[in-house]
A and B are shown apart, each in its own frame.
Chain A
Amino acid sequence: MDFRFSLEDERFRTELLLFLKSDTPQPMPFPGNMTDEQEWKLTTVIRRKLAEKGWLTMNWPKSYGGQDASSIRSLIFNEEMSYHLIPGRDVFGSRMLGPTLMIYGSEEQKEEFLPPISEGRVQWCQGYSEPESGSDLASLRTQAEDMGDHYLVNGGKVWTSMAHKADWMMLLARTNPTAPKHRGISFFLLDMRTHGIEIKPIINMAGRHEFNQIFFDNVRIPKDKLVGEEGQGWYVAVTLLDFERSGIDYAAQAKRLLDDLTGYVIKAQEAGNHRLSKWWINDLLAKLYIDTEVAKLISYRTAWLQSQHIVPTKEASMSKVFGSETFQKVAAAGLKILGLYAPLTSDDDHSALSGYVQECWRYSFMNTIAAGTSEIQRNIIANRGLKLPRN
């Protein structure tokens, strides 16, 4: 057993940190202190730089413009990017779609779609969820009808993150309404400029425009944009959900917030702040320090299993549940620590930490829902992981 990273991995971490220092804004503005547009602009700029370094798709094979990086290397990359609040990574394209196309895509599809992803030139979005199909994704109703030389799509999607900035969508639609529900679904690549797509913004609880509702009105998809076989879409999509799930993002975000809070408290204590010198503040921070350590270790173990080519089903769910819930706990604790100052937003003269803690807290309700709710993850841990009988 050895809890250390290899020397080469540590060297990579150092290189990455130096890059972040020289090539990203220092200090990185808190997300709440940028407008949606400013954040998007920064995303595209940094994404290009990451692509130049080859880091954007480091997990891809060299033959597709990747670096054949191990899951441990990806873990380090994601840990530092999340910890330092750096925008620019490409969850949909590089982490999900790329690896899927490598398995299921045609040669033409790989040629057309992989290079723009590794070069950081394209934004993808994920068109899965529908108003009536969230956790029960396989019940989705958006229809793609075979019209001979193309498919005709009608219906709609919801919660589609970044659709308003996306060039392409990975779309799940029903091609066979009479087949059993998992078998009637197909996986498409949809050009977002196609006629008949309407995008309606949905403002999230943090006051941001990130996700959207989408309406399809007779949208045409050329036949060659079907991935895998017709009716195989569910299985294509599920493969994709299993890629790159160490959960380190949640753990690193939690750790970052906790470190910021601890720094804030230490400064206040040094300045003689009576309230922040009370034992319960230290106690709260110390307990969360342990929690963030657990979150980190579960993620490390998940990534390590992947590096040994073991599929970490239970571990991936554990790190997602525990990491996202730890972030939620740290954010709520942050409000407690700031006390009466906690609700003040960045534009108030008295705001603490630029209103960043309340912003994090508002966001903290997101990750226990997105990408499989905590309840669904616990079902997976119990059923697939612990082999308890299914309900």
Chain B
Amino acid sequence: MDLSFTDTQKMLVTEARQFLKSTWGTSMVRKLAEDTKDYSNDLWIAMAELGWMGIVFPQEYGGTGGNLIDLCALVEEMGRHLVPGPFCSSIGLVGLTLLKEADNETRSLMIPKLASGQITATLAVTEETGGLAPEDIETICVRKNDHYILNGIKLFVPDAQNVDYILIAARTGSKPTNISLFLAPTGSDGIDIRAHKTMSFDAQGELRLVNTQLPLSSLIGEFNNGWPLVDRALQLGTMLKCAEMLGGAEIILDKTIEHLQERVQFGRPIGTFQALQHHCANMAIDVEGCRYLTYQAAWSLSQGFNSRKEVSMAKAWVNEAYNRICTLSHQCHGAIGFTMEHDLQLYTRRARVQEQSFGETQFHVEILTKNIGSLRRGSL
């Protein structure tokens, strides 16, 4: 057993933190929000220069051959600093799916560009129901001669407005799991993308497909048998979402402790009040839970094990724990935490959006009930 990062991973974390501290701050998150942009090209290029987009790809594709724990550690740092941009979507959702499932030609065309940050991509699954089961997919694809035609509306697609390619999950047969995946450039005819307007400064969008024609080569994986690919991509995406949230949870605890040491009321630092000490102790337990459930999920996925249970435990816990942490932090900060000027609300708002993406708590709890021992299916 070893519950720590390797030296290389520690170095990666230190470097990432230093880099983000010096080049990226919440003032820039705010500036993006004011300019109604949700993505910084300069930052993206700088991250690419550091080789971050290539971290999990093999060297033959221009990557550095790291594993999912490396990726998790990096995303955790990005979460700490509210780094915008389609990193997890490009690398975790699309890059790793293509690496495993695309044919050689697509792979050698796409992966080096993804690994160098030259192009970006995302995965479109959810629709009107907001659900993450194959039954929720109604976007339809039919084959007509030498191309595919897609019709449907995808909602809540992460980073939709900021990517060059979208991997689209569409229904191609009548059985619930008859789903296939198609890779489409976002500039294609018949593709219309609109950004959602949200209370956070996160990027998600609506994707409208109206008689969108795609070549036969756009199919990724097997026709009618794409759901396992989606499922795996979602598991990876869920783990990375947890990592992002873990980063946020850590920095919120750090900042809260700082505030409790500095703020004086009744002639002493408010950190001396046991009511607040207990708040912090509870937050620290929650952070610890977030951390090791997330790392366990990352490790399990990196080993190629069946990780459904680990991933769902992590997301179900992190959803609740991170929001508890934010709420307690507001409580500890007093009025200053209720202002736009203060950074806390940036995280609090994002946390509620993150809670919903890649499966709300109850979604993952349900998965667990089907995967813990031989629990009987309850009646309604």
Contacts and interface: CB of A to CB of B under 8 A. Distances in A.
A204 interface: yes
Contacts of A361: 352
B101 interface: no
Contacts of B196: 344, 348, 350
A81 B310 CA distance: 48
A370 B334 CA distance: 8
Interface string B319-337: 0000100010011001101
A67 B340 CA distance: 41
A391 B266 CA distance: 12
A207 interface: yes
A290 interface: no
Interface residues of B, number: 45
A373 interface: yes
Contacts of A211: 335
Interface in A115-151: 129, 132-136, 139
B331 A368 contact: yes
How many residues of A sit at the interface, in one of the four size bands? 35 or more
A369 B266 contact: no
A203 B130 contact: no
Interface in A361-390: 361-362, 365-366, 368-370, 373-375, 378-379
Interface stretch (A46-54, A185-193, A233-241, A332-340): A332-340
B14 interface: no
B375 interface: no
Interface string B185-209: 0000000001011111010001000
B273 A275 contact: no
Interface in B336-366: 337-341, 345, 348-349, 352-353, 355-357, 360-362
B273 A340 contact: no
A34 interface: no
Nearest to B270: A135
B197 A347 contact: yes
B222 to A, nearest CB: 28
A91 interface: no
A339 B199 CA distance: 14
B285 interface: no
A361 B327 CA distance: 11
B197 A345 contact: yes
A204 B155 contact: no
A278 B197 CA distance: 27
Given A342-B352, A343-B200, A275 B131 contact: yes
Given A207-B340, A345-B197, A375 B275 contact: yes
Contact of B199 (A139, A204, A279, A362): A362
Given A129-B335, A328-B327, A340 B357 contact: yes
A322 interface: no
B28 interface: no
A300 interface: no
A350 B155 contact: yes
A116 to B, nearest CB: 29
A311 interface: no
A345 B198 contact: yes
Interface in B113-163: 126, 129-131, 155-156
Contact of B352 (A133, A136, A343, A391): A343
A373 B330 CA distance: 11
Contacts of B367: none
Nearest to B356: A340
Nearest to B323: A332
A345 B265 contact: no
Given A332-B323, A365-B337, A340 B156 contact: yes
B340 A203 contact: yes
B349 A362 contact: yes
Given A345-B198, A365-B337, A378-B275, A340 B265 contact: no
Contacts of B331: 368-369, 373-375
A342 B334 contact: no
A341 interface: yes
B276 interface: yes
> Which 10 A-B residue pairs are closest in the complex by CB-CB distance?
A136-B265, A348-B197, A340-B130, A343-B198, A203-B340, A205-B345, A375-B275, A358-B199, A136-B266, A343-B353
Interface of A: 129, 132-136, 139, 158-159, 202-205, 207, 211, 273-275, 278-280, 328, 332, 335-336, 339-345, 347-351, 355, 358, 361-362, 365-366, 368-370, 373-375, 378-379, 391
Interface of B: 126, 129-131, 155-156, 194, 196-200, 202, 206, 264-267, 273-276, 323, 327, 330-331, 334-335, 337-341, 345, 348-349, 352-353, 355-357, 360-362, 380
Given A332-B323, A339-B360, A369-B334, 7 more contacts: A139-B266, A278-B362, A336-B355, A342-B356, A343-B200, A375-B331, A378-B275
